[in-house]
Structure 1
Amino acid sequence: MKATAWFRKSLVILVSVLTFGLVTPTDLAWLAEADSLKDTKKGLVEEEGLAYLASQNPTERKEEFNREEFLSGLLDKAEENAFMKFGEKINPKIGDEFKLAILPKMEEAIVEMAEHFPDEQLQQLTITEQPSAGRAEKIFNIYDSLSGKDIIRFHVRQENPPLEGYWFNFHYHTRHDAFATHYDMGKIYWDKNTPPEWTGKQLLS
């Protein structure tokens, strides 16, 4: 420590002699302090710059896609559309049987469809907002929101075989064969009497 102090004093004296007294010990202290402040400010600017770049990084700002949550949302909306279509007249009679016998097969078909899509394409899929009313078959379609093209269509058809009364036939079609094949999910018996018409969203509002 003593040697270091002696060296500093010697250096100050030497500088004063060489510069003929133009640079004093006070000037040297001020210059050292200025260099120190400059380094500190430079470090702060660099840190702020890095923090800004990190905040602007699209990879960090992009919310991570959760496949399970997305599918869960689709399945919830599928069930909602089905009960919306049944309405207050049909739902009390077939709702429980639909949940037990048809809904699991509907969910299975949606999950199987989703397996054919990577995450970036799956998150573009959406479900139609309302079922068809009257005697129309559509419960809902799942389609590509970018192209507008249907991927899979879920229907229910009212059937009246001779001497059997009325049945509800639940089925779906896929784009893989231009919606030609009829994939059965099951039937639910109604009654000998003609069932009421389906209720669409536009009739509920």
Structure 2
Amino acid sequence: MNKWIRKSVVVLVSLLTFGLITPTQLINNVNAEKPNERKTFESISSGQTSYFEESLFDKEAILKELLKQAEQQSYQKFGTRIKPVIENEFREIILPNIEKALEETAAQFPTEDLVNLAITESPGKGQSEKIFNIKNSDTNSDVLRFHVRRDNPPQAGYWFNFHYHTYHDGFQSHHELGSIYWDKNTPPKWMS
């Protein structure tokens, strides 16, 4: 076998199996006699590589997990006093728009890089707008920032304005997700 092919196979196997199969095992398997069809079928059906590819490189599974974490962070931000009042509207109006924003962002990344996207762990308290940020774990830089702002237009009561910012414009532009009406009375602080 050519030297560069052997090195490529070793690197590929190491990446796909997270080092669970060592290069010496691979070389021994290549040099060994050919397995019969039954052994080949069993090793493919119970192999770790297929699980790895399905779980880590499945774009839908990654987005679903990010959306689940986003929902949890949002409810944590709302706290016990705000959540019961706006929870249904949040699920119906805002959450589908967060999902669309995540899908648009995921389309800009290669599938392998989606594994590096992570949600920050703590929303902002008090008057802070921050719900959660999505960052690239490799570069430790934010990709998206999801916020909720309290608006109080004259004679219209209080509204929660959900929006996000992207790294494309330096987090300057607001990308609207929707608004939810609170009440004429001042809402409590976040996470209360």
Partner amino acid, structure 1, of 2:111: D
Q: Compute the TM-score of the two structures, normalised by the length of structure 2.
A: 0.72
Aligned residue number for residue 193 of structure 1: 185
Aligned-partner Cα distance in 2 for 1:52–1:71: 37
Residue by residue over 1:146-178, the C-alpha shift from the partner in whole angstroms, topping out at 9 and shown as x without a partner, is 111100110000111111111100000000000
Q: What is the percentage of aligned positions where both structures have the same residue? A: 50
Aligned residue number for residue 52 of structure 2: 63
Aligned mate of 2:114, from 114, 122, 126? 122
Aligned mate of 2:86, from 70, 86, 94? 94
Listed as ranges, the matches of 1:1-205 within 5 Å are 50-51=28-29, 63-64=52-53, 65-199=57-191
What SS does the aligned partner of 2:108 have? coil
Partner amino acid, structure 1, of 2:128: A
Query: Residues 178 and 52 from structure 1, CA distance in 2 versus in 1: closer, same or farther, beyond 3 angstroms?
Result: same
Aligned-partner Cα distance in 1 for 2:68–2:26: 45
**How large is the Cα RMSD of the aligned pairs?**
2.6
What SS does the aligned partner of 2:65 have? helix
Q: Give the drift of 1:123.
A: 1.0
Runs of 4+ aligned residues of structure 1 deviating over 3 Å after TM superposition are 51-54, 59-62
Query: Residues 94 and 114 from structure 1, CA distance in 2 versus in 1: closer, same or farther, beyond 3 angstroms?
Result: same
Aligned-partner Cα distance in 2 for 1:139–1:109: 15
* Higher alpha-carbon Rg: 1
What SS does the aligned partner of 1:187 have? strand
Aligned-partner Cα distance in 1 for 2:166–2:93: 21
Q: Give the drift of 1:66.
A: 2.0
Paired residues, what number?
151
Q: Give the drift of 1:63.
A: 2.2
* Structure 1 residue ranges without an equivalent (≥5): 1-46
What SS does the aligned partner of 2:104 have? helix
Aligned-partner Cα distance in 2 for 1:60–1:188: 45
